[in-house]
Every structure is written in C-alpha cells, then in structure tokens.
C-alpha cells in the first residue's frame, strides 16, 4: 500500500475509513504510542515532585510547566509550520524531545534531580509539544481525502483518549520498578514517531518561487487571515461559546467526586475513564449523527448533552449515575470538539493552515483556562452544584446566541491555489522590500446596478484584507457615474507578489462574479503604484 496521500474522493464514509490509508495509520499508531509515553511522563513527574517537594504549589507547577508553552508558543509554532517543511520540523523537534526525555531519565536514575530541574525539563518538553501541535494538525488533510477528514480528526481524538487511559496506568506500574522508568519510556516512544516520520513520504509541493516569510511577518499574516476569514471567525465564536462553559466540569470534576459525591480517588478515576470511553464511543457513532444533523446541529446536540451532564452531576444522584453521566459527557465532548476542529481545518488554505489551527488552539486553551478560573472562583462563593448549574445554563444560552455563526462554511470552497492573477507589468526594477504598494482596479458598471456591485465588493474587500491588504477602498467617479475605482494597499512589493500565490479557486469564482458587473469592452484596468524611494534634499549628506 502506498504511503503517499490519497487523491480519490470515493473513500468510505465509515468511522474506520481513515485506516484504509497507510500514511494515516502508521502516523496515528506512532503518535498514540508517543502520547502514552507523554502521559507516563506526566504521572512520573507529578509523583516525583510530590516526593521531593510535596507542597500543592510545587505539584501544580508541574502541570503549569506542561501547559504554559501552548499559550506562549502556539501561534509562532503555527507560523514556523507554514514557513518550514512540516515533516522536517516534526522530525527535528521529536529528536530534541527524545534526547530531553532520555536525559531526564538519566538525571532521575542517578539521583541528581531537583524540583527546579524537573520543572525545567518538563517546560522544555512542553515547548516541544507546543512547537509540533500545529504541524501535526496541519498534516492531517495530506494523509486522507477531504470526505473522510472528519473521521480522521475524530480518530485522532480517540487516540488521545486511548493513550490517556493506558499511559497513567502503565506509568503507575513502572514507577514501582524505578521512578526513572516513565521518563526512559517516554524517550523511547519518541523514537517510534521519528521512525514513522522517516518512513512517511509527504506529497510533493510546488517549488517556492518567493522567499520564505520571516517569522513575525508570518505571525501577522496568520492573525490578519483569521480576522478577515468569515468561516474561521464563525468557528472560533462557536468554540468560545462552548469551551468557556464546558470547562466547568473539567475543572471541577475532582471536587465533584470528592465533595458532591463523597467519593475517593477511585471514583474520580472511574469518572475520568468514563469520559474517555464515552469519547471513544462517540467517535464511532458520530458519522451517523453528522449525516442526519449536519455540523451545526451536531454541535448543538453535543452542547445540550454537556449541559445535561453538568446539571445531573450538580444534583449528586450517586456514583453509578455520575459514571454514566460522564459517558454522556465524553460522547458530547467528541461531537463538539471534532466538529469544531474540522470546521477550522476546511476554512484554511495550505499556506496558512498551521497558523489558523494554532489560533484555534489558542482560543480553545484560552477559553478552557479562563473558564476554569471563573468556575473555580464561583464555586468557592456559591458552591459547586450552583456553579455547575450556571455553567450549564450558559452553555444552553450560547446555542442561540452563536447560532448565526455557521460551521464548516469552508467545506464547499475550493482553497487550492489558482494562480489566476497575471504577473504585474514592471518597466523598471522594483525591490522586494519597496513599499507600500497601491493596486487599483477600474470597473465600468451599469449605474442601475451600482448598489448591487457595491454590496458584492464587500466580499472582495474581506478577501483582499485576508490575503495581505492593510487598507481597501471603493470610489465612484463624480464626472462619470458607473466608473468605479477599487484600491488596496499592501506593505511591500514582495507581499503583493505573495498575494498572487495566495489567491484560491474560490477567490477566482468571487472575482468572476465581480467581473460580471463590468460592461467595458476591455477587462478592468489594473495598475500598480509603489511608493518612491526617499530622495535626499539637495546638499544634504548621508549620516554615518
């Protein structure tokens, strides 16, 4: 079976369809094993810190050292993944993580470990996870055809839940052999991913004709794209409306088990396990519900299920009911998380996919973190049951409030590069860094259709700004009604050349709609103006 990504669109719509593609299967198995190692590391690090420095603050700092890098580095990591070769980036970081994990195992084994060293090693591991997270998500569309992308994203979530169930248990067992064993095992698990990446042959991409973007320019371009992409903004609005409230049961679950249900650690473990089992089960039944309901109603159903779970947990009916409710919470979680992730995936063309997904991850973790703080503080004032009830009501209220933000709008768009913009006419040498650049397009429109043309131009405005323009305008000639001049400004000549490469087939269709209004015998006149280079005043001397 070939390891190259499939091009057929006739793939089975079943939940297991992604496993018919070798590239997806091999990388999925390798990442599951690696995630098992990561969970073993987490258990080992927490246990080790609790023995060296048993204060709650120091133990909590282990989790902080793991998650903080995702807040700090997700967007720059997305930019790197778009600028660099994703396979090479993943290979490089996995090698560093393998060395780091094995080094930590050695330091622990020799007894040289200290609380500060443990936090430092864990932070480095967190940075590595942050640097690779956008790239891992961005390569999924190259592993499976578009019709089974949702199933692939769901199965990736299943893999996370499988590793979450296996990793901590194995970590707890091998700690009895040696506290260094979880770290050595984690290091070896990265070697499996390295081998899988060495085996994988990603699809060939067109040769780059322009220089790579610099890091911070790429970050700005990613943020700009997100601000002007209607499908991605709609996805993030729905994500914010869900995760802000759904974070309540994740944040309060240990206290629900201990305080509301009067249980012990075993009850908490069973409740967490039930969430994982529910998520795995939900991935297999989700294609049926997706076909019946569509993405928007599926997310609404998952939100209702999450809210119902929180209300039942707040009532404290008993241990068995709580475990059953956690199954419902897991199913609901996978319904929502997968639908939102796919909506973000299909909203993004290749050139900005990793950055867009990094922004989605930032919104996800930001909403979860902010929500955890809010519900934790609120529960201390009004009690856990009331905090859960308020969160459940907020989640239900978010459904109608965010309903106009439709999901997976990008699924019907062809975001492949179109390269339909002709090369600009240049008579003199223009430096790549010269700018700003003003591009004008002259249209001749039937005055009776002027209002319709102006409305259609607003969609074009968003596309211009999304792909690089920092200013846009449309003017009508006072001396000749129906003669319109569109202008937009970009930072430099190189940035405008990048616009030529960023244009998609969906953009081409939009521009055809605009050209349908044009009644001139010749195509609309396109002109380019670049800011002249600064001229030194006569007699002035250049400073040194």
Q: How far apart are the first and last CA of the chain?
A: 64
Residues in the chain predicted with pLDDT less than 70, given as ranges, are 1-13, 15, 50, 54-61, 63-64, 164-165, 168-169, 206-209, 265-266, 269, 534-544
pLDDT value of position 13: 53
> Among candidates 52, 206, 77, 182, which has minimal Cα distance to 129?
77
- Report residue 50 as tokens: 């609790």
- Report residue 393 as tokens: 């009501």
Per domain, the residue ranges of the chain are 14-203, 213-412, 437-530
Report helix, strand or coil for 436. coil
pLDDT value of position 445: 92
pLDDT value of position 537: 63
pLDDT value of position 12: 42
pLDDT value of position 507: 84
* Fold agreement (213-412, 437-530): no
CATH topology of domain 437-530: Alpha-Beta Plaits (3.30.70)
**192-197 long-range contacts, CB within 8 A, separation 24+:** 192/30, 192/33, 192/34, 193/30, 193/31, 193/33, 193/34, 193/90, 193/94, 194/91, 194/94, 194/95, 194/98, 195/30, 196/26, 196/27, 196/29, 196/30, 197/27, 197/30, 197/87, 197/90, 197/91, 197/94
Q: Say which residues have a Cβ less than 8 Å from residue 520's Cβ, sequence separation at least 6.
A: 443, 444
pLDDT value of position 395: 95
pLDDT value of position 398: 95
**Thinking of the domain 213-412, which architecture would CATH place it in?**
Up-down Bundle (1.20)
**Strands of 471-476's sheet in order across:** 471-476, 483-490, 437-444, 525-530
What pLDDT, in 10s, does the model give residues 208-264?
667 777 888 888 888 898 888 889 999 999 999 999 999 888 777 777 887 888 887
Q: Is the pTM higher than 0.85?
A: no
pLDDT value of position 36: 86
CATH topology of domain 14-203: Growth Hormone; Chain: A; (1.20.1250)
């Amino acid at each position: 079976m070939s390891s190259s990504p499939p091009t057929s669109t006739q793939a089975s719509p079943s939940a297991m369809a992604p496993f018919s593609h070798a590239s997806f299967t091999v990388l999925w198995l390798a990442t599951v094993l690696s995630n098992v190692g990561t969970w073993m590391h987490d258990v080992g690090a927490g246990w080790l810190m609790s023995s060296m420095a048993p204060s709650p603050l120091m133990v909590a700092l282990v989790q902080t050292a793991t998650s903080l890098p995702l807040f700090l580095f997700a967007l720059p990591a997305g930019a790197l993944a778009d600028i660099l070769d994703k396979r090479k980036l993943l290979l490089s970081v996995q090698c560093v993580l393998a060395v780091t994990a094995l080094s930590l195992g050695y330091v622990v084994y020799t007894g040289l470990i200290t609380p500060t060293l443990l936090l430092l090693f864990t932070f480095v591991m967190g940075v590595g996870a942050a640097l690779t997270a956008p790239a891992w998500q961005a390569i999924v569309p190259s592993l499976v055809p578009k019709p089974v992308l949702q199933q692939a994203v769901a199965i990736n979530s299943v893999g996370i839940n499988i590793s979450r169930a296996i990793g901590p248990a194995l970590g707890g067992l091998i700690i009895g052999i040696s506290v260094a064993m979880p770290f050595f095992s984690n290091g070896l698990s990265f070697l499996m991913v390295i081998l899988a990446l060495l085996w994988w042959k990603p699809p060939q991409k067109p040769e780059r004709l322009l220089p790579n973007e610099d890091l911070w320019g790429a970050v700005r371009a990613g943020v700009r794209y997100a601000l002007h992409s209607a499908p991605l903004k709609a996805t993030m609005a729905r994500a914010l409306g869900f995760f802000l409230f759904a974070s309540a049961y994740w944040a309060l679950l240990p206290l629900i088990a201990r305080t509301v249900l009067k249980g012990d650690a075993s009850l908490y473990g069973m409740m967490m396990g039930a969430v994982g089992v529910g998520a795995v089960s939900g991935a297999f039944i989700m294609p049926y519900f997706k076909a019946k309901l569509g993405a928007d109603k599926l997310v609404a159903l998952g939100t209702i299920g999450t809210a119902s779970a929180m209300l039942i947990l707040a009532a404290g009916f008993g241990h068995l009911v709580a475990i059953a409710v956690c199954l419902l919470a897991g199913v609901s979680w996978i319904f929502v998380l997968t639908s939102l992730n796919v909506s973000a995936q299909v909203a993004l063309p290749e050139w900005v996919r990793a950055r867009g997904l990094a922004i989605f991850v930032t919104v996800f973790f930001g909403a979860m973190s902010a929500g955890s703080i809010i519900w934790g503080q609120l529960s201390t004032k009004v009690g856990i049951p009331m905090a859960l009830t308020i969160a459940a009501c907020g989640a239900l209220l978010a459904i109608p409030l965010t309903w106009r933000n439709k999901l997976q709008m990008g699924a019907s768009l062809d975001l492949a590069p179109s390269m339909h913009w002709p090369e600009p006419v240049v008579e003199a040498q223009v430096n790549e860094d010269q700018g700003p650049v003003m591009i004008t397009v002259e249209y001749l429109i039937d005055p009776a259709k002027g209002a319709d043309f102006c409305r259609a131009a607003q969609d074009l405005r968003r596309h211009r700004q999304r792909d690089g323009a920092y200013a846009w305008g449309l003017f009508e000639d006072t001396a000749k009604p129906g003669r319109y001049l569109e202008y937009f400004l970009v930072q430099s000549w190189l940035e405008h050349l990048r616009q030529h490469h960023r244009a998609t087939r969906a953009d081409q269709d939009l521009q055809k709609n605009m050209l349908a209004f044009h009644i001139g015998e010749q195509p609309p006149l396109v002109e380019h103006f670049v800011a002249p280079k600064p001229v030194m005043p006569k007699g002035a001397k250049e400073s040194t």
